[in-house]
Amino acid sequence: MNESSTIDRQLHTDGILSPSIWDGRVFQGRWTSSEGTVIEVREPATGLTLATVGGSTPKTVVDAVERAARAQPQWQAIAPESRARVMQLAATILESNRDTVIDWIIRETGGVRGKAETELNGTIGELLHSAALFVEPEGHVLHSADPDRLSIARRIPLGVVGVISPWNFPLLLAMRSVAPALALGNAVVLKPDPQTPITGGVVLAQIFAEAGLPEGVLQIVNGGAEVGEALVCAPAVRLITFTGSTRVGRRVGQLAGEHVKKVSLELGGKSPFIVLDDADIEAAASAGAWGSFLHQGQICMAAGRHIVLRGVAQSYLDALRQHAQSLTVGDPFREDVAIGPIINQRQIGRIHELVTSSVADGAELLTGGTHETPYYQPTVLAGVRPGMAAYVHEIFGPVAAVCIAENEEHAIQLANDTEYGLSAAIQTASLDRGLRLARRIRAGMVHINDQTISDLPGIPMGGLGQSGNGSRFGSTTNVDEFTEWQWMTLGGAPTRYPF
Ligand code: NAD
């Protein structure tokens, strides 16, 4: 560690995140002693225990869902403007606790300060966007067979929404479901990842309680697969929104199907980053490095496959290697670094296995490929070809896997040669060329002259193929996701029938 770059920051423990309020407890509308085990929250960079939260059991999950179901009708009945006010206040409270929450995001997820700031800003954006949802039209006036009867279709809340979220952006990826679900009149039971229950759960519970959300409307349950499955199966849950791996998403979808529930799946990716032979190579290498190394590559939209036309492959690889080698690696809370720790030891093992098996199959290690727990060096693999592990699998680590394409047609073929379809990017000096290729890429999001990682509250975020089941977060698609249709007809006099 470089002494001069050391930043000695103390963890803020005051305000809404004071552990004395919630340490070892679980949020059941108010903080309550846990009937389940207590879950220790560890800092990935140091292994230190940061705090504990109360664990849930399948039985306490069902109780939480029932409490939410009892609280929901009253919440639905209040004026939408009043619900919007709670969202606005929650945004203000989050803003006024900015420094504290950012420190917790850094320590709990291992993300660098810039990542934590982006996550916090995005979360405030989700709240403000949700606060504006009530001005959206609520339905249609339909053609009526009887001119004396009015026929309307209107959107109504679903009831209880179950939210299951991952550890990489725990605050943002929980809030992008929780805020619109609440704003549209639903109650929510949230299950964060057990590695990040503070920024994925405690922060949300605290800011909504301070903002005046009625007791019971938001419940938090803590635990892993068993607790998650209990939430999916709990009878009163009408919609499950799940963000996480495709493997677990399939299981969640299967259970939701068995229990006849709506399910929104936002899953993994292997997003192509295409560099054409007319691209600005330095700009492309910078974007490619950002796309593969931001948050140690632990992002669903990470650039999973760099696809570079042969004519510029060598210059692109040289520039990308330089970017990778310039990145500082270390503890993001105590040092000013670009790359923080990997979330856990198991994930380091998985990254290394994908790298070493690709090298054994003929890929060339240009830089990186080494690790010293909990850090994995930014890695560039050249000569990656179909069939190699780094080509096929989502790596979720700081690894840029570079493939060579002979021409545009080959680039498209390599880009679409995946079961996933989350994001994609193309670097080119010609917008026409970029657009021509972009139209042929099977991905939910495509960026010309940018990289693959981007999300904003006002856009319809989601993936194709095994990256999701067609659900979308953000924009007016939130109304589609978090409400359902009801057809209603009304007449002033009773309809008369022949018998
Ligand atoms: P994960 O699938 O292991 O866990 C996600 C959540 O599911 C956690 O809360 C976990 O406790 C819970 N869970 C685990 N088993 C479960 C089960 N059987 N039933 C119900 N819940 C269960 O994913 P992860 O490792 O936390 O996150 C990484 C993955 O998430 C990557 O594949 C990444 O691409 C994906 N991801 C996707 C998006 C997106 O918007 N598409 C965003 C972030 C992450």
- In short, whether 394's Cβ falls inside 6 Å of ligand 1 is yes
Q: What is the mean pLDDT of the chain?
A: 95
- What is the rounded CA–CA span in Å between residue 269 and residue 297? 12
Atom of ligand 1 nearest to the CA of 300: 34
Q: What separation in Å is there between the alpha carbon of 248 and the centre of ligand 1?
A: 6
- In 3D, which of 472, 437, 122, 458 has the Cα closest to residue 273? 437
- What is the rounded CA–CA span in Å between residue 399 and residue 392? 13
CATH superfamily for 3-267+468-485 is Aldehyde Dehydrogenase; Chain A, domain 1 (3.40.605.10)
pLDDT digits (tens, 9 = 90+) for 467-493: 999 999 987 799 999 999 999 999 999
Question: Is domain 271-448 in CATH 3.40.309.10, yes or no?
Answer: yes
- What is the rounded CA–CA span in Å between residue 478 and residue 457? 10
Looking at residue 136, its pLDDT comes to 87
Mean pLDDT for the stretch of residues 299-327: 98
Q: What separation in Å is there between the alpha carbon of 471 and the centre of ligand 1?
A: 16
pLDDT value at 2 more than 60: no
Q: Which residue type does 8 have?
A: D
pLDDT digits (tens, 9 = 90+) for 83-120: 999 999 999 999 999 999 999 999 999 999 999 999 99
Q: Which residue type does 113 have?
A: R
Q: What separation in Å is there between the alpha carbon of 107 and the centre of ligand 1?
A: 20
- In short, whether 29's Cβ falls inside 6 Å of ligand 1 is no
pLDDT value at 322 more than 50: yes
Res. 454 pLDDT band, cuts 50 70 90: very high
Looking at residue 138, its pLDDT comes to 87
**Which residues are within 8 A (CB) of 207 and not within 5 positions of it... i.e. 6 or more apart?**
16, 90, 93, 94, 97
Q: What phi and psi values does residue 235 have, to the nearest 5 degrees?
A: -55, -40
Q: What separation in Å is there between the alpha carbon of 402 and the centre of ligand 1?
A: 26
Residue nearest to ligand 1 atom 23, measured at CA: 244
Looking at residue 476, its pLDDT comes to 79
Mean pLDDT for the stretch of residues 256-277: 98
Task: Name residue 402's beta-bridge partners.
Answer: 306
pLDDT digits (tens, 9 = 90+) for 391-427: 999 999 999 999 999 999 999 999 999 999 999 999 9
- In 3D, which of 439, 453, 492 has the Cα closest to residue 148? 492
pTM, rounded to two decimals = 0.96
Comparing 96 with 36, the larger pLDDT belongs to: 96
pLDDT value at 268 more than 80: yes
Q: Where are the domains of the chain?
A: 3-267+468-485, 271-448
Q: Which residue type does 429 have?
A: A
Looking at residue 1, its pLDDT comes to 36
pLDDT value at 378 more than 80: yes
pLDDT digits (tens, 9 = 90+) for 331-375: 999 999 999 999 999 999 999 999 999 999 999 999 999 999 999
- In short, whether 269's Cβ falls inside 6 Å of ligand 1 is yes
Scanning 193-243, the segments in alpha helix (DSSP H) are 203-211, 225-233
Which letter does DSSP use for residue 200 in this model?
I
- In short, whether 237's Cβ falls inside 6 Å of ligand 1 is no
- In short, whether 245's Cβ falls inside 6 Å of ligand 1 is yes
Would you say the CATH fold of 271-448 matches that of 3-267+468-485? no
- In short, whether 225's Cβ falls inside 6 Å of ligand 1 is yes
Q: Is 266 known to be catalytic?
A: yes
| Run of H or E including 182 | helix 170-183
**Is 380 in contact with 324 (CB distance < 8 Å)?**
yes
pLDDT digits (tens, 9 = 90+) for 140-177: 999 999 999 999 999 999 999 999 999 999 999 999 99
Of 108, 266, 335, 394, catalytic: 266
pLDDT value at 139 more than 90: yes
pLDDT value at 3 more than 70: no
Lowest mean pLDDT among 5-14, 300-309, 441-450: 5-14
- What is the rounded CA–CA span in Å between residue 429 and residue 427? 7
Looking at residue 15, its pLDDT comes to 76
Looking at residue 8, its pLDDT comes to 38
Q: What separation in Å is there between the alpha carbon of 165 and the centre of ligand 1?
A: 6
Task: Name residue 403's beta-bridge partners.
Answer: 307
Report DSSP letters for 350-366, one per residue.
HHHHHHHHHHHTT-EEE
pLDDT value at 10 more than 70: no
Looking at residue 166, its pLDDT comes to 98
pLDDT value at 4 more than 80: no
